[in-house]
Amino acid sequence: MARPRSRVVDFIVYLLVRGGVSFIQALPETWAGRLAVGLGCLAYRADRRHRQVALDNLRHAFPNWSESRRTAIARGCFVHLLRLVVEIARLPRQLSVANWRRRVTLVGGEQVVGAMLQRRPTFIVTGHLGNWELAGYALGLFGFHTHAIARTLDNPYLDRFLRRFREKTGQRILAKKGEYHEITQVLQSGGVIATLADQDAGPRGVFADFFGRPASTHKAIALMALQFDAPLVVVGVPRVSLRPLHFHVIVEECLDPREYIGRPDAVPALTQRYTSALERIIRRHPEQYFWMHRRWKHQPVVRARQAA
């Protein structure tokens, strides 16, 4: 039985986070960047478990690379993650309707704009690449009302704090668990839903090839795309400069579920196609992917039996 959470401890953690955010926001831009790099290098040295996970994932994904190159990319991932934290803290004060063109470039935007302006519902599919939080935030600045599926934080004070940031420009957050009815309502009304599609789905997921290995992937995206006739717009938000907050919002591919109607393999085929599109973006910016998470945690049962 799980121990009940302490509201006092949760509130103290919330105050510490708010204090850290205020400190980062008060720093000059150059100092904030240097702080992120320093903390990222420190985290790479201190966090042995996640460092080993990242290196192992990179060995499987890029077997032809030298060990020194994989080590450099793994270190870069930690630095990127800390940069991401700093950028998110500073985002509300540095990105606005007046200046977004200096910070964000929309690449292939006609596809996402076309999909969002038609009467059909739309899925924006992305992964843990670049500044994935920026996609929904920026679309709100562009004038599009979107919904994002996200996990509710255990700390209610931090959850409300992060939700206010995410919903600042008009995006609405739907809980990953418990709000399926609201998700279907959004799709039925022709709305736009953004989701991260590169998370392990457990032993019951659809296995899609991802960097040469089967990766358990959630079925729900493809199933709902087919059920509600919703195009899938695959998006990545990589950093394209060492300057703070300089990103490309890249539309890699736009998938129409109508092409798969009647196919017995419609769900795995759609899942594989958007997974491959995400992989292409990641290959162009490997240092900005979240290699520290166990994306290949679950494998097909047949392969596990063969290994045994």
Instruction: Dump pLDDT digits (tens) for 248-277.
Output: 888 899 999 999 999 999 999 999 999 999
Residue 116: predicted pLDDT: 66
List Cα–Cα distances, 180 to 120, 224, 291, in angstroms.
19, 11, 29
Most confident of 25-39, 146-160, 215-229: 215-229
| Residue 132 or residue 291, greater confidence | 291
pLDDT, position 52: 96
Q: What is the pLDDT of residues 20-76, one digit of tens each?
A: 989 988 888 888 888 999 999 999 999 999 999 999 999 999 999 999 999 999 999
Of the CA atoms within 13 Å of residue 53, those in its CB half-sphere come to 15
Alpha-carbon span 116 to 112, nearest angstrom: 6
Q: Average per-residue pLDDT in the chain?
A: 87
Q: What pLDDT does residue 280 have?
A: 97
Q: What is the pLDDT of residue 110?
A: 67
What per-residue confidence (pLDDT) applies to 4? 74
Q: Give the pLDDT of residue 273.
A: 96
Residue of higher predicted confidence among 170 and 201 = 201
Q: Which residues contact 132 (CB under 8 A, 6 or more apart)?
A: 126, 196, 237
Q: What is the per-residue pLDDT for 153?
A: 85
Whether the per-residue pLDDT at 303 is higher than 60: the answer is no
